[in-house]
Amino acid sequence: ILSKFLEMIPRYRFIIFFKLKNIKSKQIHDVRKFLRNRAEIIVGKKTLLRYYLNNIDGKISTSKVRQLTANLKNNVGLLFTNTDPYCINSLLKNYCVKETAKAGTLAKKDIKIKKGIKRLSPSQTSFFQALGIPTRVTKGSIEILENILLVKKNKVINSSHEVLLKKLNIRPFKYGFEFIEILDQDKKIPLQYLNFDHQKLKSNISCTIKKMNICSENYLILIPGFQAYNIVRTFNKCLAYYLKLVLNKNID
């Protein structure tokens, strides 16, 4: 693994550190298979890799060694790739796994229960009453009468919450590959880059181009790049007018 690790550092442009907490071995196996020939993943051996990096003789730049060793801590994995991290992150969203809530842990988000018939035996009504959840028996099943905020974000999940969510077959959390550091050669890429909205950018550019074109027409200002567009549009208008004349003449 050490020789492979040393080979991958110069071969790949991006090194991505991700959290291993709550990620199952099958998820890693599936991602490795999916990203074959596009990326490679290393998990484990952090202590050995740190020792190796601190004792190699000039094979990697000092700044690179510092960046790598600084991130080889806690429960992390490494993903090496030449593909844009934004694309990799988007692809890995398909490999999130839903998980049940566990007593004693903090809720990562608000846990809500929707009202409606839940296909549970009326004999369990007392359990819902103990939790202060209004119910009634409908068609031989328990019906929850209101939308319920069961646990707020960052609050502790207790055993009753865990049991209830299991009864309702609700798995409120998703666990996947969460990036914590992205290295591009010797530079860091801000994690905000992963949340960049390309569709919004495309829409803003399109809107700006339209506004510039309107200004160009209204104030007779020639803007480089718009002349060809205006010529084509004028030609289309002339062609439409000509066809209209021809059609009207044929009708007459």
The CATH code of the domain that includes 21 is 3.30.70.1730
Of the candidates 151, 110, 148, the residue with the CA atom closest to the CA atom of residue 132: 148
Cβ proximity of 165 and 102 under 8 Å: no
What integer pLDDT is reported at residue 221 of this predicted model?
Answer: 55
pLDDT-derived band at 79, boundaries 50, 70, 90: very high
* Six-digit token string for 209: 């181009």
- Together in a domain, 11 and 86: yes
* Six-digit token string for 96: 């999130």
Tens-place pLDDT, residues 149-184: 999 999 999 999 999 999 999 998 888 888 989 988
Q: Is 251 helix (H, G, I), strand (E, B) or coil?
A: helix
- Together in a domain, 32 and 124: no
Mean pLDDT, all residues of the chain: 81
pLDDT-derived band at 49, boundaries 50, 70, 90: confident
Question: Does residue 102 lie in a domain region?
Answer: no
pLDDT-derived band at 63, boundaries 50, 70, 90: confident
Q: Does the pLDDT value for residue 9 go beyond 70?
A: yes
pLDDT-derived band at 83, boundaries 50, 70, 90: very high
Percent of the chain surpassing pLDDT 90: 24
What integer pLDDT is reported at residue 58 of this predicted model?
Answer: 65
- Together in a domain, 13 and 118: no
d(CA 246, CA 252): 10
Structural domain ending residue among the three candidates 125, 157, 172: 172
pLDDT-derived band at 246, boundaries 50, 70, 90: low
Of the candidates 69, 89, 73, the residue with the CA atom closest to the CA atom of residue 20: 73
Strands (E), 102-178: 111-113, 116-117, 135-138, 141-144, 148-151, 173-175
Of the candidates 43, 31, 96, 29, the residue with the CA atom closest to the CA atom of residue 74: 43
Arithmetic mean of pLDDT, 171-200: 83
Cβ proximity of 2 and 72 under 8 Å: no
CATH of the domain at 141: 3.90.105.20
Arithmetic mean of pLDDT, 111-124: 90
Question: Does residue 101 lie in a domain region?
Answer: no
- Together in a domain, 70 and 161: no
- Together in a domain, 83 and 12: yes
Question: Does residue 103 lie in a domain region?
Answer: no
Task: Write the single-letter amino acid at 242.
Answer: Y
Task: Find residue 113's DSSP bridge partners.
Answer: 148
Arithmetic mean of pLDDT, 220-234: 57
- Together in a domain, 71 and 23: yes
Pairing, β 111-113 against β 148-151: antiparallel
The range of the structural domain enclosing residue 68 comes to: 2-96+176-196
Neighbours of 145 (CB within 10 A): 12
97 vs 71, residue with greater confidence: 97
Question: Does residue 106 lie in a domain region?
Answer: no
Task: Find residue 188's DSSP bridge partners.
Answer: 183
